[in-house]
Amino acid sequence: MPVELKDFHTVARPDWCPGCGDFGIQVAVKQALTNLQIEPHKVAYVSDIGCSGKIVHWVNVYGLHSLHGRAVPVASGVKMANRDLTVLVDAGDGGGYGIGVGHLVHALRRNIDMTYLIHDNMVYGLTKGQMTPTSCKGYKSPSSPFGAIEESLNPMAMALSLGATFVARGSAGDAVHLTRILEEAIKHKGFALVDIFQPCVTFNKINTYAYFLQNTYNLDKLEGYDRHNFQMAMEKALEVGKYPVGILYQSERPTYEEQDPGRAHVAAVNLDIDEVDISALMGKYC
């Protein structure tokens, strides 16, 4: 039976704020999985805490709502245990680039085969709009009432500098384009980072749908751009004023699970443990 969009629908309905960019991301995720004909039971979706983290409740696949900043290591364990699963990871810019940035650094280095979606709305939406690492300098919020002092983090340049094999940026305001990006990210063999401009209509009155429409441009329409050219990708990642949206960079190198000597041929979930005796190990520590 062919996979249909309705297969990813859930009985429960999202309770995000009306107009939230998370709706566009949810639509793109479900459409990408449908287009790729990936059956729901072959997908594991791990999320962070926050508004974005609720998405796993509203996509009909195996979902796990993890701890704040810890979605990547949980998803890494899932992929290492069962490499046959398509693993998606989800976080906001606070969880992904703030408390969880250390895990992101090593996931990029290891190149574990999964797709990491960052809902980048430049605020902590669930906790009433505090600034995050991607908030612009001068941004006023409950945690920065006089304006943010720090320069905002550049996740695209950071990922490239850490050896990422797939770096892309999409927009929740263009679900059709975002769907195409997610399809390529999911098909990519290795760690794929997809940063998604996602308006928070309740707390962020600066980075709105209109703002992103006026301050982004589509890389797909840029003549001569080569997403396999690292130098070209870094130049685009460092651009300010107008931000490129699309696949900035893609390359190939072996994934972590392919190189793991302990599980080079058999995934952990398929190992025969009937004859395993751990009594000596238990005796040592008990």
- Structural domains of the chain, with CATH: 5-285 (3.40.50.970)
DSSP letter at 123 equals E
pTM of the model: 0.93
Check pLDDT > 90 for residue 231: yes
Check pLDDT > 90 for residue 285: no
| Lowest mean pLDDT, pick from 59-68, 135-144, 151-160 | 135-144
Residue 97: CB partners within 8 Å, gap ≥ 6? 104, 118, 132, 133, 134, 153, 155
pLDDT band at 263 (very low <50, low <70, confident <90, very high): low
Cβ 91 vs Cβ 54: under 8 Å: no
pLDDT of residue 265: 64
d(C-alpha 96, C-alpha 46), whole Å:
13
Cβ 234 vs Cβ 207: under 8 Å: no
Residue 180 neighbours by CB distance under 10 Å: 18
Determine the straight-line distance between the first and last CA of the chain, rounded to whole angstroms.
51
Paired with 170 in beta bridges are 196
